[in-house]
Amino acid sequence: MNVSSRTKLIKRGAIWGFIVLELIFFSVAGQFLSLSETQFMDLDNMLLLLKQSAPIGIIALGMTVIMINGNIDLSVGAIFALCAIVMLDSQTWPIFAGLGETAIIPFAWGLALLTGMALGAINGLIVWKTGVDAFIVTLGAMLGYRGLVFMYNGEQPTFLLNWTLVDMIETSAFGLEVPAIVFIVMTFVIWFIMTRTVHGRNAYAVGDNREAAVNAGIRVGPHMLMNFVLIGFLTALSSIVFYSASGSVNPNDGELYELWAITAVVLGGTKLTGGSGSVINTLGGVIAIQLLRKGLGHIGADTETVNLVIGLILIAVLFLDRQLNIKGKGELRT
């Protein structure tokens, strides 16, 4: 294998290698530093990890698609909270008064999904029709949608406990709870879309060379709109999965979720400039971050340190990526 394809292979598999390193490191360090009796690489621990990764993970899947397009979505945190509010609060609406705890669930979920899709559609429509960059559009939406969240109930949490709902979410199959299952299933679905469908392949073209895509007849505007609806849908889905169990949402919930999602996507190797990336690697990025949290907790580090470490690792990854990218011919010192 020549140098460049070996480098490519390293880059593609890098995140998984990193995860293996983490597992080894924390397992070993845990022997010496851990306060608890259990092993780090305990099966239950790992399954729990998958479940805990799900909220940000599902959103990160959508973020991958958006970033492959060369766009970004900073409003997902706010959408996350708003969908939760709709799901919980709608169960108290008079229009659904007659339905029981079980029958109301599809409506609550349906409304939440619609909310997410609608909010995503607004972003997508603005990006399409005005030509304003997605960064700015979703920066504004992040503020605006958060404003809507506050307008709903002021600074009070929105609270509704539907035990049927809780039971549903907390069921498990093969040891995996619903959130983990949804995460894995959606990963597969998005992967399939991105690798096997025309829409998915076009996404890479749009991000790689937007002008070429336009000239080739790809309808870039509706395409990007669809992807914003997709991330809205996935954000709503994540919100449903999380809040069905918790039953209470604070107006500040979801804060910084967009940044975590972007971090996971970038760690997984997707380029900020678009045109390349893979949801499987985003899955890796999400797991790597969650593993880091768990691992640091396992060896007794406090939560503050987690932020510090994750931040530094992100930078280290960037640096390594740059080193691997230097072409053999010797770049100009510009």
222-281 residues in contact with other proteins (CB under 8 A) are 222, 255, 259, 262-263, 266, 272, 275-276
Concatenating the DSSP letter of every residue in 256-277 gives THHHHHHHHHHHTT--TTSS--
In sequence order, the β-bridge partners of residue 159 are: 248
Check if the beta carbon of residue 64 is closer than 8 Å to that of residue 282: yes
Residue from 48, 114, 121, 214 in contact with other proteins (CB under 8 A)? 214
Applying CB under 8 A, the site for other proteins has a residue count of: 78
Identity of the amino acid at 133: D
Least distance CB 63 / other proteins (angstroms): 13
Sign of CA dihedral 188, 189, 190, 195: positive
Question: For other proteins, which is the closer residue by CB, 213 or 240?
Answer: 213
* Near other proteins in 56-75, by CB under 8 A: 74
| Residue that has been written with the tokens 């809205």 in this structure | 232
Residue 39 or 192 with smaller CB distance to other proteins: 192
Does position 48 interact with other proteins (CB under 8 A)? The reply is: no
Name which of residues 8 to 47 contact other proteins (CB under 8 A): none
**What distance in Å separates the CA atoms of residue 76 and residue 82, rounded to the nearest whole number?**
10
Q: Which of 277, 197, 239, 192 is closest to 82 using CA atoms?
A: 239
| Residue 322 is a binding residue for other proteins (CB under 8 A) | yes
What's the CA gap between 204 and 320, in Å, rounded?
Answer: 24
Our finding on whether 220 is near other proteins (CB under 8 A) is yes
Nearer to other proteins, 165 or 317 (CB): 317
> Which residues within the stretch 154-193 sit at the binding site for other proteins (CB under 8 A)?
154
Of 10-18, 58-66, 105-113, 213-221, the window that binds other proteins (rule: CB under 8 A) is 213-221
Q: Which pairing describes strands 158-159 and 248-249: parallel, antiparallel, or unpaired?
A: antiparallel
The rounded distance, in Å, linking the Cα atoms of 166 and 241 is: 10
Give burial (CB, 10 Å; 0-12/13-18/19+) of 253: buried
Chain residues 130-149 in contact with other proteins, contact rule CB under 8 A: 130-133, 135-137, 139-149
Q: How far is the CB of 281 from other proteins (least distance, A)?
A: 14
| Shortest Å distance, C-beta 204 to other proteins | 5
Contact call for residue 151 and other proteins (CB under 8 A): yes
Q: How far is the CB of 162 from other proteins (least distance, A)?
A: 27
Residue 63: CB atoms within 10 A of its CB come to 31
Residues between 299 and 318 that touch other proteins (CB under 8 A)? 302-315, 318
Minimum separation from the CB atom of position 279 to other proteins (A) = 15
What is the spatial distance between Cα 229 and Cα 218, in angstroms, rounded to a whole number?
18
Question: Does residue 100 interact with other proteins by CB under 8 A?
Answer: no
Q: What are phi and psi of 172, to 5 degrees?
A: -135, 160
287 binds other proteins (CB under 8 A): no
Tokens representing 203?
């996404």
**Closer of 47 and 210 to other proteins (Cβ):** 210
